[in-house]
Amino acid sequence: MFSPSSQSRKRDPPTPASEDPLSPPSQRSRAHDTSTELQPMPTSPAMDTAAQDVSLFSSPMAPRSVLQSEVDASSPLMYGTPSSRVEGTPRSGIRGTPARQRADLGSVRKAPQVDMHSEPSFDFCEQGAGQRLVIWGTDVNVGTCKEKFQRFLQQFTAPNSREEENAGLDLNEPLYMQKLDEISVVGEPVLNVNCSHIQTFDADLYRQLICYPQEVIPTFDMAVNELFFDRLPDSVLEHQIQVRPYSALKTRNMRALNPEDIDQLITISGMVIRTSQLIPEMQEAFFRCQVCVFNTRVEVDRGRIAEPAVCRNCNTTHSMALVHNRSAFSDKQMIKLQESPEDMPAGQTPHTTVVYAHNDLVDKVQPGDRINITGIYRAAPMRLNPRQSQVKSVYKTHIDVIHFRKTDEKRLHGLDEDGEQKLFTKERVAMLKELAAKPDVYERLSSALAPSIYEHEDIKKGILLQLFGGTRKDFTQTGRGNFRAEINILLCGDPGTSKSQLLQYVYNLVPRGQYTSGKGSSAVGLTAYVMKDPETRQLVLQTGALVLSDNGICCIDEFDKMSDNTRSVLHEVMEQQTLSIAKAGIICQLNARTSVLAAANPVESQWNPKKTTIENIQLPHTLLSRFDLIFLMLDPQDEAYDRRLAHHLVALYYQSEEQIEEEHLDMAVLKDYIAFARTSVHPRLSEEASQALIEAYVDMRKIGSGRGMVSAYPRQLESLIRLAEAHAKVRFSSKVESIDVEEAKRLHREALKQSATDPRTGFVDISILTTGMSATARKRKEEVAQALKKLIQSKGKTPAMKYQQLFDDLRGQSEAAITKDMFDEALRALADEDYLTVTGKTVRLL
C-alpha cells in the first residue's frame, strides 16, 4: 500500500497527514500495484501500522493512549491528539477532549484521486529537504503552517468588518481570539474562519488552504486546539474545535466548476432542491470472535469493510462477526444543489451538483433554501459492473461540505446587504462611477428604462427612483419602528397605453421582482398560505408574491380588478412593510419590504377627465394615499406628440440592434448600476436639504390653507424625503442635497398635478387622494344638504313626505343639476344630523 519512498519520508516528524499517500494529487510518479486499487484490501493495514504510525506522528505534547489502535489512524485528522474513548469522566484540556472525526474531509480519502493537470507549481525542496519537510504531494509544511495560522488567529483584526457574525465583538481586538472566547462560553466547538481574512493576512497560507484543504484544515484544527487549550485549559468541550473556512474565492458559480477544481476548497452558491434522508455511514466496524470473544475494529475503507478472515487471538478462521451496536457510524446526508437562477446564462437549464453534509451539518438546510457552501470538490470514477474490469470513463463528482451559509436566512431578521452584494470588478465599478459623474446621468438612466415605451418621461423617472429606493432608517429604539424606504407607484390610465409593458420591463429588470395580475391573484397568493406537506405531514408556510419580492419590486397589473379582500392585505404591506399572518396555528409577521408598482384601468374603460382619480379607478383612498406617486398615463391628443410617437415606433421597427445600443445604455449596465447604488450608497440628508424639505412642506400646506383645504400631510413629506434620497442615490452621492429635493418636489408636483387635480376647480387638492373627496365636492355636498333642509322647512309641518316627490321638488328648485346620488347623500347628511329618517319611500321628520 505504501510506496517505499513515502514510507521513508514518513519517519521524519512531524508529517501528521502523510499516512495517506493516495490522497494527494498523483502528479508524482509512484510505483503502485494498481490492481489493488479498486478491490478490497487483502488485509487491513490499520491493525499493525497504525499504532506504530501514530507514535511517529504524535506531537510532543500528546502522550500515547492505550486505545490508540482503535483510532482511525489513517484519517488526515489523526495528528497525534489521540481520541480517548474514556467516557463519563470530566475532562478538560486538549488531551481530554475527544477529536471528532471529520467525515467532511476524509470520507473518500482513499479513493483514487483524479489527476490534476494544472497544479500550482511548487518548489518541493526549496530550502533543502532536511530543513523543510512537507506533506507528501503538497508544499505544506505542518509546522510552518500551524505557526502561521496561530499567528493569524492571534493577530488578525478586521476593523471594517460588517458581518453580522461579528456583531458584538470589538473590532479592534484580534477577531478570532474573541471568537475562541465565545466558543468556551457557548460550548459549540466550531470556529468559522473567513478565507478572505486569511488571504489578506497571508496570501501564501490562503493558497495552501485552497489547494490542499484536506491537509491544511487538520493542521488548522491542531493549531486552534493547541491555542485554545493553552489559553483556557479548563474549558470543557464536547469535542475538539473544528475549523470551518468559508468564502473561498476560488469559484463562485457552479457553472465555472471544472476539472481543475477537484480536491480544492471551493465556495459556490445555489439553491437546495432535494435533501436525502440521513444516511448512517459506518466509519469503523466492530468485530467479535464467536469463539474467544476477542474484539477487533476495522475501519471502513472506501465504503467497504475488510472483514478479518482469521481471529488474531485464537486463529480460528471465519469466526469474526460484525456487531452493529458497537460499530461507529457518522451521519451523512446527500443534498442536491441547483444553480441560482441569477447565475445562469439565458436559454440554458440550471446545473445541479451533489453535496454531502456530514455530522452536525446534516439537516441544516431545507429544500428551497438559498445557500453558499464551502467544501471540497471531489471526483470518483464510476464502475459499470463489479464483475468487469471496464470502467465507465466518467467520474462522479460531489462536494463534501465544510461550511453552509444561508443567504436568505437573514432576510427574516434584518438587512442583508452583504450577502447580496454582487461582485463587481474594479473596472465595472470605475465605469459605473464614471457614469454617475456625468451631469445628465439621471436623464440618461431614465431614458434607458424601457426604451421601447415612448415618452412618459416623468413616469420613467418616478420608476427609476423607485428602483433605487430611499435610505432605510431605523427608529425602533424610539418606538416608531422602521421607516419605509420603498417608494410605491400607481399608474392609471387608458387601456393600451403600455402600462403592462412597463410593468413587464421592471419585472425583468430587478433581481427580486414578482409580477402578478390583480385579476388572478388572491389575498393568499399575495401574502402567504399554510399547507400540509404531503410527505412529512407538517404544516408549511408558503410565501406569496409580496413576501417573495422582499427587497424587490412587486408589480401588480390590473390593480382595480383585485377583490377588496385581497387589496386589504396591501394596507399593512405598503406602510408597515410587514405581513402578519395568523392561520392554522401559525402566527407570525413576515417582512415584506417591497415596493409596489401597480397599474389600474379606469372603471369606465376610458379615463373620464371630468372625474377625480378616485372616481375613475374606484380604489379606496386609504390605499391610494399609500402611493408616493400616482401617475396618469393618458393618450395625449396632440399633433406634435403623435409625430414623435410615430417616429419612435417606426424607428423601433427598422433600427438595427447596434443603433439602438448606441443610443441607450444597455439593460445590463442599468441593472448593475442599480444594484451597486442599492448596496453601496446610503445618502443622508444634509442640513441644507432638510431646510429645503421643510420649506417645501410648508409651502405645500400653505397652498391649501388659503382655500380652507389641507393640501399636504406628513405622509407627503415622507414621500418627498424618500424621493430626494433616491435621487441622491442615482448620483451616487452620500448626501442629499438641494438639487435632489428640487427634483423630488418637481416629480411629486407633476404626479399630483395629474392625479389630484380637482376636475371642477382645476386646483391641486390632496384631499382627493387622502379622503377620497375634494374639498369643493364636500362643500357642494353641504350646500345641497342645506338646500334640502330649507326646502323641507319651507313645507311647514309635514311629519312625512314621499321620497320621489321631495327629490322632484329639490330638482325643480335648484339651479344646478342634482343627481339622485347627490340627493341621497344630502338625505344621509341630514339623517346624520338627526333631522329626519328615511324609511323605504317615505321621509319622516324627527
Report 132-191 residues binding other proteins (CB under 8 A).
none
- Give the Cα separation of 75 and 50 in Å (integer): 10
Residue among 649, 800, 816, 846 that touches other proteins (CB under 8 A): 649
Q: Residue 252 or residue 302: which is nearer to other proteins going by CB? A: 302
Residue among 41, 56, 273, 845 that touches other proteins (CB under 8 A): 273
Q: Residue 89 or residue 653: which is nearer to other proteins going by CB? A: 653
Q: Where are the alpha helices (DSSP H) in 578-664?
A: 613-617, 621-624, 639-654, 657-663
Amino acid at the residue 288? R
Piece of 302-310, 422-430, 584-592, 741-749 that binds other proteins (CB under 8 A)? 302-310
Residue among 83, 194, 330, 498 that touches other proteins (CB under 8 A): 498
Give the three-class secondary structure for 282.
strand
56 binds other proteins (CB under 8 A): no
CB distance 488 to 596 below 8 Å = yes
Piece of 154-162, 196-204, 502-510, 707-715 that binds other proteins (CB under 8 A)? 502-510
642 binds other proteins (CB under 8 A): yes
508 binds other proteins (CB under 8 A): yes
Piece of 149-157, 446-454, 596-604, 762-770 that binds other proteins (CB under 8 A)? 446-454
Q: Residue 159 or residue 341: which is nearer to other proteins going by CB? A: 341
At which residue does the C-alpha cell 436568505 appear?
408
Residue among 168, 345, 479, 714 that touches other proteins (CB under 8 A): 345
Q: Minimum distance between the CB of residue 575 and other proteins, rounded to whole angstroms?
A: 28
C-alpha cell at 264: 480544492
Q: Residue 344 or residue 441: which is nearer to other proteins going by CB? A: 344
CB distance 497 to 604 below 8 Å = no
Q: Where are the alpha helices (DSSP H) in 449-561?
A: 457-468, 499-509, 523-526, 545-548
Residue among 17, 46, 54, 114 that touches other proteins (CB under 8 A): 114
Q: Residue 22 or residue 581: which is nearer to other proteins going by CB? A: 22
Q: Furthest-apart CA pair in the chain: how many Å?
A: 127
Q: Shortest CA distance to 218 belongs to which of 287, 149, 321?
A: 149
Contact track, other proteins, 82-111, x by CB under 8 A: --------------------------x--x
Piece of 63-71, 201-209, 269-277, 775-783 that binds other proteins (CB under 8 A)? 269-277
DSSP secondary-structure letter at 552? S
User: Inter-axis angle of helices 714-730 and 441-448, to 10 degrees?
Assistant: 100
Q: Where are the alpha helices (DSSP H) in 141-244?
A: 142-155, 175-186, 195-201, 203-211, 213-231
Q: Residue 89 or residue 388: which is nearer to other proteins going by CB? A: 388
- Give the Cα separation of 730 and 738 in Å (integer): 14
Residue among 122, 395, 483, 713 that touches other proteins (CB under 8 A): 395
Contact track, other proteins, 25-44, x by CB under 8 A: -xxxxx-x-xx-x-------
CB distance 72 to 96 below 8 Å = no
Question: How many residues does the structure list for the chain?
Answer: 846
250 binds other proteins (CB under 8 A): no
- Give the Cα separation of 841 and 835 in Å (integer): 17
Residue among 302, 561, 611, 671 that touches other proteins (CB under 8 A): 302
650 binds other proteins (CB under 8 A): yes
Site for other proteins in 356-385 (CB under 8 A): 367-368, 379-385
35: CB partners within 8 A, 6+ apart: none
Piece of 200-208, 321-329, 499-507, 616-624 that binds other proteins (CB under 8 A)? 499-507
Piece of 211-219, 463-471, 651-659, 772-780 that binds other proteins (CB under 8 A)? 651-659
Contacts 24+ apart (CB under 8 A), 524-533: 526/566, 526/569, 526/570, 527/569, 527/579, 527/581, 528/579, 528/581, 528/590, 529/583, 530/581, 530/583, 530/584, 530/586
520 binds other proteins (CB under 8 A): yes
By rule CB under 8 A, what count of residues binds other proteins?
A: 96
Residue among 154, 155, 200, 501 that touches other proteins (CB under 8 A): 501
Residue among 67, 539, 651, 816 that touches other proteins (CB under 8 A): 651
**DSSP string over 347-390:** T-PPPEEEEEEEGGGTTS--TT-EEEEEEEEEEEEEES-TTSS-
Piece of 336-344, 415-423, 619-627, 687-695 that binds other proteins (CB under 8 A)? 336-344
**DSSP string over 298-357:** EE-BTTB----SB-TTT--BT-EEE-GGGSEEEEEEEEEEE--GGGSPTT-PPPEEEEEE
Amino acid at the residue 180? L
657 binds other proteins (CB under 8 A): yes
654 binds other proteins (CB under 8 A): yes
Q: Minimum distance between the CB of residue 35 and other proteins, rounded to whole angstroms?
A: 6
